[in-house]
């Protein structure tokens, strides 16, 4: 059995090399490298998979390159509403937050919901009040302002439409972030965080905060974090579907993930990808788009960082 392993993603979509400058590509890879390297250290030190996935996602949330935390897109009101969730596979404990604003690291709040409340999901103002009670760090609107994100919103803010962050109508692509890990104790966990869609309607919730759709973990099968067209991941209950195929049809992690991403998701016109780890520490990172920002690292093996197919 693999001692421990970690995988992260920063979004999937129409990521074309022809639209990527060498400098921008280097920045993406550096951000992915920083996140997975710090999470790997956590696992190497014998700490939990939950600690590892939370830290990896927090580092990605702190980067303006990805659509989560600091880099979150603008909604239809010109604000930022963020979603996040975390789940561990031992007792299938989970925590999630939706439609929250001002919280620096939504994934931190999701973990607090999991560990310090009797609830699984908290939303909006109530979640923000809960964050204040537990002294979660908030940031001003200026912290979340990014010129590129603002320009994205300006192009469509009066059209009544919204735009997936990885739409092929855009020259540069960003996306939801996530992590999955197996620790030395044999436990697995998953975490996902997002800023949603540009110009999304007030109160829209995506799959990233929904257990079973964007995030899932079960020690008997796998831990999964998804990225892509959220509405389709919700309709297909994608994260749980991978686990279900493993548990009830006996498929391997690779077989189940391929079935879900390359067949079932496509059948309902969905696009995107996922990262997953099984109870043995095996990793898979399938996607049906042009690319997915991703990195993986199995204990005592080579670290891998990729963007394109």
- Return per-residue pLDDT of the chain as tens, 309 residues: 799 999 999 998 877 787 789 999 999 999 999 999 999 999 999 999 999 999 999 999 999 999 999 988 876 676 788 999 999 999 999 999 999 999 999 999 999 999 999 999 999 999 999 999 999 999 998 898 777 766 665 666 655 555 454 444 443 344 799 999 999 999 999 999 998 876 566 778 889 999 999 999 999 999 999 999 889 999 999 999 999 999 999 999 999 999 999 999 999 999 999 999 999 999 999 999 999 999 999 999 999 999 998
Domain of residue 143: give its range: 5-308
| Cα dist from 144 to 164, 174, 205, whole Å | 18, 15, 19
CA 2/CA 216 separation, integer angstroms: 21
286: CATH = 3.60.20.30
Reported pTM: 0.93
- Can you give the pLDDT at residue 160? 52
pLDDT tens-place string over residues 186-216: 999 999 999 887 656 677 888 999 999 999 9
Going by C-alpha positions, the residue among 295, 265, 270, 271 that lies closest to residue 283 is 295
Counting the structural domains of the chain, the total is 1
Q: What pLDDT sits at residue 174?
A: 45
**What DSSP letter does each residue of 213-240 carry, written as one string?**
TTEEE-TTSEEEEEEE-HHHHHHHTHHH
DSSP string, 170-226: SSS----EEEEEE-TTS-EEEEEEE---BTPPTT---GGGSBTTTEEE-TTSEEEEE
Catalytic residues: 176
């Amino acid at each position: 059995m693999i001692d421990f392993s970690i995988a992260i993603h920063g979004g999937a979509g129409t990521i074309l090399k022809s639209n990527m400058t060498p400098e921008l590509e280097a920045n993406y890879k550096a951000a992915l490298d920083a996140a997975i390297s710090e999470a790997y250290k956590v696992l190497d030190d014998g700490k939990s998979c939950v600690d590892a996935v939370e830290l990896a996602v927090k580092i990605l949330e702190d980067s303006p390159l990805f659509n989560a935390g600091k880099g979150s897109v603008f909604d239809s009101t010109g604000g930022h509403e963020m979603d996040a969730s975390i789940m561990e596979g031992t007792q299938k404990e989970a925590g999630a937050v939706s439609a929250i604003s001002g919280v620096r690291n939504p994934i931190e709040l999701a973990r607090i919901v999991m560990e310090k409340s009797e609830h699984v999901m908290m939303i909006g103002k109530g979640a923000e009040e809960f964050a204040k009670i537990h002294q979660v760090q908030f940031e001003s609107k200026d912290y979340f302002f990014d010129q590129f994100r603002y320009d994205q919103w300006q192009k469509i803010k009066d059209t009544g439409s919204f735009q997936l962050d990885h739409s092929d109508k855009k020259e540069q692509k960003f996306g939801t972030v996530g992590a999955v890990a197996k620790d030395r104790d044999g436990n697995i966990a998953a975490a996902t965080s997002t800023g949603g869609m540009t110009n999304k309607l007030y109160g829209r919730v995506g799959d990233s905060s929904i257990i079973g759709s964007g995030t899932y973990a079960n020690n008997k099968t796998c831990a999964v974090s998804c990225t892509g067209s959220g509405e389709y991941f919700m309709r297909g209950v994608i994260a749980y579907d991978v686990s279900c195929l493993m548990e009830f049809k006996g498929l391997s992690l690779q077989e189940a993930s391929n079935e879900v991403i390359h067949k079932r998701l496509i059948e309902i016109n969905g696009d995107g990808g996922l990262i997953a780890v099984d109870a043995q520490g095996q990793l898979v990172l399938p996607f049906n788009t042009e690319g997915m920002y991703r990195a993986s690292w199995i204990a005592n093996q080579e670290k891998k960082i990729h963007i394109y197919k």
